[in-house]
Amino acid sequence: MPIPDSKPAIAEGRLLARFPFLPQASPWIAGLANKHGIDLDTLLEGPSMEKARLRARQRLLESLEKDKSSQSNNDVWTEDGQIIEAFAFYYARLVICASEDEKLIARWAQTEAERAERMLVSHKGVAFDEQHLDLIARSYFTKIKSEDSVNSGSVKHGFSSMKSTGSLMMNLNQVEQGKTWNIGLSDYIEVCPKITGHRWRLPNTDIKDGWIKLHHESEYNSSKKLARLMRERFKQEIERDALSRVNDVTTELAIRLAEPVGMLRSQMSKIQKDAIELVGASQEEWPPCMKNIVAQLTQGVNVNHFGRVFMASMASTLALPQEACVDFFRGAPDFSEQTTAYQVAHIYDREYTPSGCGKLKVNHNCPVLPGDDRICDIEWMNHPLKYIRAKQRSNSMRQKVEQKTTSDSGDGESQDD
């Protein structure tokens, strides 16, 4: 994996606090520890580190709960805020290493990488600061360069065919889009296999002289694409770093971290228990939206992309075998074994959470109308997984009533005898 030998200097505490896994953050954090007398004992038990430990727990718990991740309330413009963020990361890494659980480590690395990606791009897809994006990208990629969009020429793949005309409208668009980034081919091919979507496949990229140009798209500008590539690299590095530290956790340290590790494990087993209950779901307990998609695919109806992702994520949550999930799509008019297997594997790997009822309705994947299904009509029904739980509970109560009736009538018969 090509990681740059020499990394750009980053001295700004605000940036290092936000991205404490950066290689440049280690000496900065060591400096803070020296300046404020923060040693291992202080980090593990000192009152001054209480906020950092709480923030670490929050981040660790978020890594277990898919699709749940909050931004920090700490003001990283102040040194106090920077200390909390930086040492929260260190404490969380100690706990996760003490767990010696590769799955927990991978989930934590994934959550930290996703959080970092979100910080690199604003909700409008514009980089929070392109100068910082450049610094961080050069810390992880050997070849990276940018060009102003004004000079970036035409855009490929039909995303826009306009050339720079100097018109006011074009200039405004370019200002909004930000820079156009180019990444070295060897860096790109290290991370792109982990990312799904046709735009990331090599034949669909703009390759020239060993560089790949990340073109702007209307809702996906070049900075956002670079941040997506960086997320993969962040995850790889955070995970590799944590795994390399597992053996450094001494027995004494493991004992001192037993409480937060226990808290993590118990939360994990609670989530797994919920999942196991769902895994037992029979087809009769599936919600109408899921049954409808399976029926449509079987009949060769072209189910939309949203419905397909939902179907695969439900299959993954219910722990159906991947091959069985691929089989659902065999009737689709555009079925390709290889592409489907790849996409299904991606959804299983990432443990996607199935979409809720609201999104399914908006995307035309909810087949019921009021009065069609008693459970779907319940006021709090907002997720197909809740449907399965409600159905399981109602089935189990019905069985209990039936058993009681049978046993009562059996008692009666024996008395008659």
Half-sphere exposure of 364 (CA within 13 A, CB side): 5
Instruction: Determine which residue in the list 81, 125, 260, 287 makes contact with ligand SF4, applying CB under 6 A.
Output: 287
Q: Minimum Å distance from CB 384 to ligand SF4?
A: 4
Contact window for ligand SF4 (CB under 6 A) among 114-122, 175-183, 281-289, 396-404: 281-289
Residue type, 100: E
Looking at beta carbons only, is 259 or 377 nearer to ligand SF4? Answer: 377
DSSP 137-164: HHHH-SSEEEE-GGGS---STTS--PPP
Q: By CB under 6 A, tell whether 288 contacts ligand SF4.
A: yes
289 counts as binding ligand SF4 under rule CB under 6 A: yes
- CA distances for 87 relative to 97, 108, 262, angstroms: 15, 16, 20
Binding to ligand SF4 by residue 293, rule CB under 6 A?
no
Q: How far is the CB of 366 from ligand SF4 (least distance, A)?
A: 3
Binding map of ligand SF4 across residues 354-393, x = CB under 6 A, - = no contact: ---x--x-----x-x-------x----x--x--x------
Report helix, strand or coil for 217. strand
Find the shortest distance in angstroms from Cβ 343 to ligand SF4: 22
Q: For ligand SF4, give the closer residue by CB, 72 or 363.
A: 363
Binding to ligand SF4, residues 136-165 (CB under 6 A): none
C-alpha 217/C-alpha 228 separation (Å) is 14
Site pattern 322..361 for ligand SF4 (x: CB under 6 A): -----------------------------------x--x-
Q: How far is the CB of 344 from ligand SF4 (least distance, A)?
A: 21
CB atoms within 10 A of CB 39: 10
Nearer to ligand SF4, 196 or 298 (CB): 298
> From the centroid of its chain, how far is CA 50?
28
Q: How far does the chain reach from its first CA to its final CA, in angstroms? A: 81
Residue 179 makes CB contacts below 8 A (sequence gap 6+) with 127, 130, 146, 147, 148, 149, 222, 223
DSSP string, 333-368: TT--HHHHHHHHHHHHHHTPPPP-HHHHHHTT----
77/79 Cα distance (integer angstroms): 7
Number of residues that bind ligand SF4 (CB under 6 A): 11
CB of 68 to ligand SF4, least distance (A): 21
Angle at 231 between CA 229 and CA 234, to 5 degrees: 115
- In angstroms, what is the minimal distance from the CB of 95 to ligand SF4? 37
Q: Whose Cβ is closer to ligand SF4: residue 211's or residue 387's?
A: 387
Q: Nearer Cβ to ligand SF4, position 200 or 306?
A: 306
Distance between CA atoms of 31 and 24, rounded to whole angstroms? 12
Please identify, using beta-carbon distances, which residue of 39 and 277 lies nearer to ligand SF4.
277
Task: Catalog residues that contact ligand SF4 under the rule CB under 6 A.
Answer: 287-289, 357, 360, 366, 368, 376, 381, 384, 387
